Amino acid sequence: MDIKLNFQNPAEIETECLAVAVVDEGEGSANKAKVMTADAEVRNAAHELIASGEVTGKIFETNLIHKPHGLKAKRLLLIGAGKAKNFSTYELRKVAGTAVRYLKPKSIKSFAIVAPDLASGVVDSIKSVVEGSYVADFDPDTYKSDRKDLAMQTVTVVTDADKKIAEEAVREGRAMGESQNFARVLVNEPSNRMTPTILGQHAKKMCDEVGLKCEVYGADKIKELKMGAFWSVSQGSDEPPALIVMTYEPAGAPKEPVLGLIGKGITFDTGGISIKPADGMEKMKYDMAGGATMIGAMRAIALLKPKVKVIGIVCASENMPSGKAQKPGDVQIAMSGKSIEIINTDAEGRLVLADGLHYARQLGATHMIDAATLTGACVVALGSVNAGVFANDDRMYERFSQANKLAGEKMWRLPLDQEYFEQIRSSIADIMNSGGRWGGAVTAAMFLKEFVDTTPWIHLDIAGTAWIEDNKSWIAKGPSGVAVRSIVEFTREYAANGGLK
């Protein structure tokens, strides 16, 4: 998809369709719905429909006017953006996405959209439109034999901003949107076409394209590093594991701080010997979404070039039942030297992350973020609306929370109280890999915390938000690419402020 800029008055633009946001100004306004542009001709073209009460500004409401009076556009698309007092980048991304997904089935390959004024500024407005457009253009029907090419070819962003500022905003929005979609492409692939080896190949190819250093190691290196927790998950599969290490080190970046991004890359999760029910198991191809998130984030970081060293690590494996697979009751020794009693082989994500986190520290990470589709318990707690956030450092969490809001992704902090550790204390080893039913998302985070030591760290449990169960007006059913934008925004702020010293 190509993004263009247009600095004309919206009424003068010749296009298949001109899209504008409409907000609900609430009771007391002359017309409850307000078109978000200063162009009088556009507002006049929408006036009759608004005056009729058919257009209310309700979030994601769509109204299409053919041959709008006074406009050179063939169509005028009015998209509800919700309450005016709440209108922000969060809603604007989805408004832009709704425009794309509304027009695609109509075989409209190009359109223009007005970037409205936002309290946070014109850069945020343009970026949000671009990001939302890219995210909306992705569809998961890769292997349909009768697949129709409905991809949007051109989105023109209409703005009165300074040209250089607008161009930079488009560049940033494109890097974010394309990288989020890249993560979604990886997650969408079936497990027979996205093995750990193939995931490593995709990561290596991406790194070569954007100028990142990438090393992909196999079983021999994992054993050499004494990654006993990681290897214990891999040993039951005929597919070899892959330890993917991506490094971004721009010229002029200080030696410290160093940000470590660690992702769970289970390309298929049967549960191992503690096998999952058959119902819904096909979705376990998405158990590598945390790894895909970090690969996508590294891509965006390489394109946006913040002045900070970043190390991305993905521990990729299948979790399969076989005569070689680990069993409940086994004891494994992690890279850190900690001993782990295996209670449930389906609690495997925390095992690969344990060694990934320790390895990141060995490579020099001074601050770390991990992402994983880690627990069903987090889905029970937060549903599919918020991802779970855990942090051992309040200052780092506050910075991440600010980046999270800027990225427009919903996340909710959960506790790490020391009392929860008692649930994973083992009588035969240092810790158990499962703390039982109660507080499962928290006990999983407590397990990971054992491999972080005092390093400032954030854990993202994205189990409930990495996969979208139903089509939305702004995004297709399937992989969401959640957390890519939040991690990249945090990295940029982290670089701009010299880390978290």
Q: Which residues are catalytic?
A: 276, 350
Token pair for 218: 């196999």
Give the residues across from 248 on adjacent strands: 310
Angle at which helix 349-362 crosses helix 440-449, to 10 degrees, equals 30
Between CA 352 and CA 334 the distance in angstroms is 9
* Cα–Cα distance for residue pair 161/171, rounded to 1 Å: 15
**Cβ contacts of residue 494 below 8 Å, gap of 6+?**
257, 259, 306, 308, 367, 399, 500
Q: In whole angstroms, how far apart are CA 50 and each of 27, 67, 173, 256, 307?
A: 15, 16, 32, 56, 48
Residues 311-345 as b/e (b if ≥16 CB within 10 A, e otherwise) read bbbbbbbbbbbeeebbeeebbbbbbbebebbbbbb
CA dihedral 183, 187, 191, 194 (to 10 degrees): -10
Residues 312/298, Cβ–Cβ less than 8 Å: yes
Hey, is 195 helix, strand or coil?
coil
Q: How is residue 378 written in tokens?
A: 């987090």
